[in-house]
C-alpha cells in the first residue's frame, strides 16, 4: 500500500491532526484534542501523540504506513534540526514565572515514539503553503504571499521556480523560511516608521495597527464619537462588548461607522500587501485569518490601497483576495510539507 502522511496543527488551545494520501486526499476526519500548552512539554507531547494515534486509527492506517508527519507550530522553528527555538504560547509555570518553550527537540521526541520522520514549520508559514496547494494557489500559482489576520498578524511566502533566476530543479511551491527559520514575518512589515509601538518592540508594524486588539480599540473610539452608530446598539452602549465579529456584523448591516473602521484597517493592511507585491511579484496574495471574514468593506480598502501603492505592472498579474482555507490552512500546509518529503521516499 502507498504511504500516507499526517498533518498536525499544534495550537495554544488545541492540537489537530489529519491523515492524507500522498496525492492529497483526506482519509478519515480531523481529530482534535486540547494541547494543554501551559502544562509543560511532557504533557503536551502526550496530547500530540494521542491525537496522532487517534487520527491514524480513524483513517484505518498503522504507523508503518505513514511516510512522514508534517507539523505546524506557532513560534520560531528550526526545521533542519526539528527544534522549537521559541514558542511563547507553550511552557510551564514555575513559581511566579511562566517558562516558555526554548530549544525543545519536538521532532525527535515524536520520532522516537512513533518511528516516523517529523518535519516542522512555523504555523503561519505553513498556512501559506496549505493555501498554495489546497486553496487560492491551486498548487500551480506562480508564487503566493499570504497574510493571516487575527490576534496577531502572521504570514508566509511560497516561491516557485518562476520567482527565481538560475537553474533550480525543484518544481512546485517551496516555502521561504530564511537562513535560521525566521523569515516570513509579514506582520512586522513596517508601514509607518514612527507609528505605534508593536509587540515586537519596533514601531509602526502593520500588526500594531491592524491586529485584533487594535481593531477593538479603534472601534471603541469610533463608537464614542458616533453615538448613532449601530455599534452602540449592538453593544448596548458597552464598549467592553466590542469584537471584530461585531464590527463585521454592523458593517454588513450598512453602518457607516463600522464601514469606516474596515476602511482604515484595510488601508493599513493594503500598504503591507503592496510592499510584498513589489518584493515578491506573486501571482496570488491571499488574506486569511478570522478577521478576513469582515469581507467586502475590508477588501475594498485593501484593493484601493494596493492600487495606489503597488507597482502597476506587478499588480496587473496579481490575484488578490480572501484565502479559501480560513480554518484549516495550517494543517494542510503541514500535510504539503510531509508530502514533499514522503514523495522522495
Nine-digit cell at 224? Answer: 464614542
Measured from the CB atom, the residue of 34 and 195 that comes closer to Zn ion is 195
Nearer to Zn ion, 207 or 283 (CB): 207
For residue 196, the minimal CB distance to Zn ion (Å) is: 10
Q: How far apart are CA 178 and CA 321, in angstroms?
A: 26
Q: In terms of DSSP bridges, do strands 83-94 and 97-104 run parallel, antiparallel, or are they unpaired? A: antiparallel
The whole-angstrom separation of Cα 198 and Cα 276 is 19
Q: Which residues contact 280 (CB under 8 A, 6 or more apart)?
A: 143, 145, 157, 159, 163
Q: What 3-state DSSP class applies to 339? A: helix
- CB neighbour burial string for 280-311, b if at least 16 within 10 angstroms, e if fewer: bbbbbbbbbbbbbebeebbbebbbebbeebbe
In the complex, the smallest distance separating the C-beta of residue 157 from Zn ion, rounded to whole angstroms, is: 17
Phi and psi at residue 30, to the nearest 5°: -65, 145
Judged by CB under 5 A, the number of residues near Zn ion is 5
Which residue number, 7 or 289, has a Cβ lying nearer to Zn ion?
Answer: 289
The DSSP-derived string for 218-252 is: HHHHHHHH-TTSHHHHHTTT-GGG--HHHHHHHHH
Q: How far is the CB of 76 from Zn ion (least distance, A)?
A: 14
Which is closer to Zn ion, CB of 31 or CB of 198?
198
Beta carbon nearer to Zn ion, 11 or 204: 204
The C-alpha atoms of residue 333 and residue 288 are separated, in whole angstroms, by: 14
**Least distance in angstroms from the C-beta of 88 to Zn ion:** 14
Q: Which of residues 202-231 bind Zn ion (CB under 5 A)?
A: 202, 205
Quick check: 198 binds Zn ion (CB under 5 A)? Answer: yes
Q: Please, what is the minimum distance in Å from the beta carbon of residue 155 to Zn ion?
A: 12
Site residues for Zn ion, 133-192, by CB under 5 A, read 188
**DSSP per-residue codes, 275-335:** HHHHHH--SEEEEESGGGGG-HHHHHHHHHHHHHHS-HHHHTT-EEEE-S-TTTHHHHHHH
Measured in degrees and rounded to the nearest 5, phi and psi for residue 194 equal -115, 35
Among 200, 278, 307, 317, binds Zn ion (CB under 5 A): 200
Q: Stretches 112-120, 165-173, 194-202, 210-218: which one binds Zn ion (CB under 5 A)?
A: 194-202
Q: How far apart are CA 145 and CA 272, in angstroms?
A: 11
Query: Based on CB atoms, which residue is closest to Zn ion, 153 or 259?
Result: 153
Three-state DSSP class for residue 110: helix
- Please state the closest distance from residue 201 (CB atom) to Zn ion, in A: 7
Instruction: State whether residue 105 is helix, strand or coil.
Output: coil
- Report whether 284 contacts 317 (CB < 8 A): no
Binding residues (CB under 5 A) for Zn ion: these are 188, 198, 200, 202, 205
Amino acid at each position: 500500500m502507498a504511504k500516507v502522511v499526517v498533518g498536525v496543527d499544534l495550537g495554544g488551545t488545541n492540537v489537530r491532526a489529519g491523515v492524507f494520501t500522498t496525492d492529497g486526499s483526506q482519509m478519515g476526519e480531523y481529530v482534535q484534542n486540547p494541547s494543554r500548552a501551559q502544562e509543560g512539554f511532557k504533557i503536551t507531547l502526550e496530547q500530540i501523540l494521542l491525537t496522532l494515534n487517534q487520527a491514524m486509527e480513524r483513517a484505518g492506517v498503522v504507523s508503518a504506513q505513514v511516510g512522514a508527519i508534517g507539523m505546524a507550530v506557532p513560534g520560531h522553528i528550526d526545521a533542519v534540526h526539528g527544534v522549537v527555538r521559541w514558542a511563547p504560547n507553550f511552557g510551564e509555570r514555575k513559581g511566579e514565572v511562566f517558562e516558555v518553550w526554548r530549544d525543545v527537540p519536538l521532532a525527535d521526541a515524536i520520532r522516537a515514539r512513533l518511528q516516523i520522520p517529523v518535519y516542522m514549520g512555523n504555523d503561519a508559514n505553513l498556512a501559506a503553503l496549505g493555501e498554495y496547494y489546497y486553496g487560492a494557489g491551486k498548487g500551480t500559482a506562480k508564487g503566493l504571499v499570504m497574510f493571516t489576520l487575527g490576534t496577531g498578524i502572521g504570514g508566509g511566502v511560497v516561491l516557485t521556480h518562476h520567482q527565481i533566476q538560475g537553474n533550480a530543479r525543484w518544481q512546485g511551491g517551496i516555502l521561504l523560511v530564511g537562513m535560521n527559520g525566521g523569515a516570513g514575518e509579514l506582520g512586522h512589515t513596517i508601514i509607518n516608521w514612527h507609528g505605534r509601538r508593536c509587540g515586537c518592540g519596533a514601531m509602526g508594524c502593520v500588526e500594531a495597527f491592524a491586529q485584533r486588539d487594535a481593531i477593538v480599540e479603534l472601534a471603541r473610539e469610533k463608537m464614542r464619537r458616533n453615538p448613532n452608530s449601530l455599534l452602540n446598539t449592538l453593544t448596548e452602549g458597552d464598549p467592553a462588548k466590542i469584537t471584530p465579529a461585531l464590527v463585521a456584523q454592523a458593517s454588513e448591516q450598512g453602518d457607516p461607522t463600522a464601514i469606516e473602521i474596515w476602511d482604515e484597517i484595510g488601508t493599513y493592511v493594503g500598504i503591507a500587501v503592496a510592499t510584498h507585491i513589489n518584493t515578491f511579484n506573486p501571482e496570488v496574495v491571499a488574506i486569511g485569518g478570522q478577521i478576513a471574514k469582515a469581507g467586502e468593506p475590508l477588501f475594498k480598502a485593501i484593493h484601493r490601497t494596493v492600487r495606489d501603492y503597488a507597482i502597476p505592472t506587478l499588480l496587473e498579474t496579481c490575484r488578490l483576495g480572501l484565502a479559501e482555507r480560513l480554518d484549516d490552512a495550517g494543517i494542510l500546509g503541514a500535510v504539503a510539507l510531509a508530502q514533499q518529503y514522503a514523495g522522495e521516499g
